[in-house]
Every structure is written in structure tokens, then in C-alpha cells.
């Protein structure tokens, strides 16, 4: 139980809950809304998912299967219609399950579009959460920012605004921003989408470093199935409203299941 980073039990998500938390609405409203019982109206039902500490897991699946929604549930942005979530062995009851509460457990998230604050420079973007939470003196924070920028190789762009950067740059800044918070569990939504091959090949060792040096647990949602081969991690699929067991890349490549036939056909013929 205590070597688990994340445990999800019997998670259901109805279509009407996908939009997620509105910060204008009090949490109570969503809590007392009653449960959706019609399985036809659910994006996925009965998802069980366990991640061990220090483990890296990829979540794959076709478009529209709810991969990103699952990640948003883990980050606390969407409250599941039904189900329990444990972070590091600690149960958070649904009435307290918000992104702020989850973020206190050192869970970081990298969004698909980076989601940098557009009126702050790159440096201030990375510094924002550190300054907000007063994580150390100004000198320490500066040192941490520089370290994060060096790690993601965005030091030269430190004084630019996000709209001056390319998509790949923005994504790297977003990863640097999450890394600077020292997350114990890092959620990544499509980290390689929109990156060219060179940057993609640079990014993967960085993710690898993060998990070996800092023992970060990483959950990656991706279309890019080769990531799991290159990072040598397990991959599971959202398929027909269910989440499969995490299995290695080679297992999926050689198995005879429906998922393998659908998603690994190209990889099989090419290699």
C-alpha cells in the first residue's frame, strides 16, 4: 500500500462531467449532484489503475477514448462521477478532491499545449509557483529556476514571452516549470506531440533522467507508442471504456488482442 504512488478504484466518468471543475462554482454543487448510473452515458467505466513509486507508465489508446480526461481526473481537475482515488496511499474523499488539494501532494502536470501564463516571461513562469509557495529564499529560487532552465535547455529564452516561443519550446518550458516544483508524481499529456524528431530524442533522456535521479513517478498519455519502448516502461490502453493491464511494449507488439491489431499494425509491418 505504501509503495504505491497512485491507486484508482472503480472510476466512472459520465460525459456531462468531462468539462471539469469550474472555479466559479462552489464544490458542493458537484458533490451533491447525484450519480450517473447509465453506462451508455459514461466515457469510461470501472477503471482500475495502480502505479508504484518510481514507476513510469504510458497510457495509450485511440483518439476520443478519454486518455486526457483520465489524466485530468488524476490531477484533480475533473471529479470522477464515481470511484476512489488514493495518492501515495492516502485517500482523498470526493468532497475534497480538487486540483489544489492534489497539488499539495506534489503532483505536477504538463499540459498538451504547455499552458504557460502568457503575460509572464519564461523565467517568471517557472518562478511563479515557487514564489507563490515561498519555496526558499529569492537566491535559492533563482538557482532552482536556472537549474530547471539548463535541464530543459531553455536558458537562452529566459527573458522571452511564451508567444515568442515555438510549440516545442513552450512544452519544454512547461516541463521545466513542473520539474522545478519537485513533483513526486508527474503527469504528462502528449509530451512529444508537436516536437520534431531531434527535440523528441532530446526530451526522452530528460524524462529518463528525471525518473532515475529524482525517483519521480511519471504517467505519460501519448499517441506515440514508441516512447514506451524507448523508456522501457509498461503501457496500458483505454479501450472500450476499460483500462487494460499495464504490459510491456513487446507484449503488445506480439499479442493477438484487438488492441494490438488496431494500434500496432504499422509498427509490426515496419519492424
Q: How far is the CB of 42 from another protein (least distance, A)?
A: 18
Return the number of the residue (99 or 238) whose C-beta is nearest another protein: 99
**Interaction with another protein in 13-72: which residues (CB under 8 A)?**
19-26, 28-29, 31-32, 35, 72
Shortest Å distance, C-beta 204 to another protein: 23
Site residues for another protein, 186-215, by CB under 8 A, read none
Which is closer to another protein, CB of 25 or CB of 213?
25
Distance of CA 251 to the CA centre of its chain: 24
Taking residues 72 to 91 in sequence order and writing x for each that binds another protein by CB under 8 A, - otherwise, the string is: x--xxx------x------x
β-pairing, 242-243 with 185-189? unpaired
Least spacing, CB of residue 193 vs another protein, in Å: 15
Q: How many residues bind another protein (CB under 8 A)?
A: 47
Site for another protein in 95-154 (CB under 8 A): 95, 98-100, 102-104, 107-109, 111, 113, 115-118, 128-129, 131-134
Contact region for another protein (CB under 8 A) — 43-51, 153-161, 173-181, 228-236? 173-181
Instruction: Name the residue nearer to another protein (CB basis): 60 or 114.
Output: 114
**What are the residues binding another protein (CB under 8 A)?**
19-26, 28-29, 31-32, 35, 72, 75-77, 84, 91, 93-95, 98-100, 102-104, 107-109, 111, 113, 115-118, 128-129, 131-134, 174, 177-178, 181
Amino acid at each position: 500500500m505504501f509503495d504505491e504512488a497512485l491507486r484508482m478504484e472503480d472510476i466512472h466518468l459520465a460525459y456531462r462531467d468531462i468539462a471539469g471543475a469550474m472555479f466559479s462554482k462552489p464544490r458542493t454543487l458537484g458533490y451533491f449532484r447525484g450519480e450517473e448510473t447509465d453506462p451508455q452515458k459514461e466515457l469510461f467505466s470501472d477503471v482500475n489503475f495502480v502505479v508504484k513509486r518510481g514507476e513510469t507508465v504510458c497510457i495509450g489508446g485511440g483518439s476520443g477514448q478519454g486518455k486526457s480526461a483520465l489524466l485530468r481526473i488524476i490531477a484533480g481537475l475533473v471529479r470522477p462521477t464515481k470511484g476512489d482515488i488514493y495518492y501515495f496511499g492516502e485517500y482523498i474523499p470526493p468532497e475534497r478532491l480538487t486540483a489544489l488539494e492534489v497539488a499539495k501532494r506534489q503532483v505536477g502536470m504538463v499540459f498538451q499545449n504547455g499552458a504557460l501564463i502568457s503575460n509572464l516571461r519564461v523565467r517568471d513562469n517557472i518562478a511563479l509557483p515557487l514564489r507563490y509557495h515561498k519555496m526558499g529564499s529569492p537566491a535559492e529560487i533563482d538557482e532552482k529556476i536556472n537549474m530547471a532552465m539548463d535541464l530543459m535547455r531553455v536558458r537562452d529564452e529566459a527573458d522571452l514571452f511564451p508567444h515568442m516561443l515555438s510549440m516545442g519550446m513552450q512544452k519544454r518550458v512547461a516541463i521545466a516549470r513542473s520539474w522545478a516544483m519537485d513533483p513526486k508524481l508527474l503527469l504528462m499529456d502528449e509530451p512529444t506531440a508537436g516536437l520534431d524528431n531531434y527535440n523528441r530524442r532530446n526530451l526522452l533522456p530528460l524524462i529518463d533522467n528525471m525518473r532515475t535521479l529524482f525517483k519521480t513517478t511519471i504517467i505519460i498519455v501519448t499517441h506515440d507508442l514508441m516512447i514506451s519502448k524507448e523508456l522501457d516502461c509498461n503501457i496500458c490502453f483505454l479501450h472500450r471504456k476499460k483500462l487494460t493491464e499495464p504490459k510491456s511494449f513487446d507484449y503488445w507488439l506480439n499479442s493477438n488482442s484487438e488492441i494490438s491489431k488496431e494500434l500496432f499494425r504499422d509498427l509490426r509491418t515496419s519492424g
